[in-house]
Chains A and B, each alone.
Chain A
């Protein structure tokens, strides 16, 4: 495994674990999940924190803090819309 693949695998484990903890699931669309994880990885490299790749980073750490994945809107979005804005976390089938 390359370094990038290792990082992606770690990130996926973290996301899966977090989803399970909240009673959610990762999006069944593997390609989308992979792309979001890569976006998170890129933001971590660029900004030092995992900002959601679907939110606009202003450069002001205070303003941007709520956008760190899992963002502050995630839980509410999954519960009300079935998925977070970016689509990484979704409502579990058992919750339907």
Chain B
């Protein structure tokens, strides 16, 4: 093997490693959750927070960037989900969601409770840290 080949081999290995690491990249943004997959998402992840929102709800729109930021800050620790209440009636009924936005908190597959209404980032972060 020539020096050039050896060098190419090293580069190849590095690229492969980077590719594999890239695949394991942690989730840093909210995922779509609905009646069809909420159970599965909750079972697969130790801490899940589902933002139940509606298109016409202004505080839901205010909360969206807060959830995006928290998903980045707690990537790998908390999985954030987004659930549209208008098209997921089973979840709405099961957890008696009356207002939007409502956050559902699940730890180790168990439903822990709700956080109702818009909260600014520092306040919501404090509430979420209690579940870590």
State how many residues of chain A have any CB contact under 8 Å with chain B: 14
Q: Chain B interface (Cβ within 8 Å of chain A)?
A: 54, 56-62, 85, 92, 97-101, 116-118
Docked CA distance A12–B119 (Å): 25
Task: Give the distance to chain B from A74, nearest Cβ to Cβ, in Å.
Answer: 12
Given A55-B98, A85-B117, check contact A43 B56 (CB 8 Å). Answer: yes
Contacting residues, chain A, for B117 (C-beta < 8 A): 85
Instruction: Say yes or no: B58 contacts A56, CB within 8 Å.
Output: no
For the A-B complex, the count of residue pairs with Cβ-Cβ distances under 8 Å equals 44
Residue in A36, A38, A43, A55 whose beta carbon sits within 8 Å of that of B100 in the complex:
A55
Docked CA distance A43–B57 (Å): 11
Q: Chain A interface (Cβ within 8 Å of chain B)?
A: 32, 35-36, 38-39, 42-43, 53-56, 85-87
8 contacting pairs across A/B (C-beta < 8 A)? A39-B57, A54-B57, A54-B58, A56-B98, A56-B99, A56-B100, A85-B99, A85-B116
Residue in A38, A43, A86 whose beta carbon sits within 8 Å of that of B59 in the complex:
A86
Instruction: Say yes or no: A32 contacts B85, CB within 8 Å.
Output: no
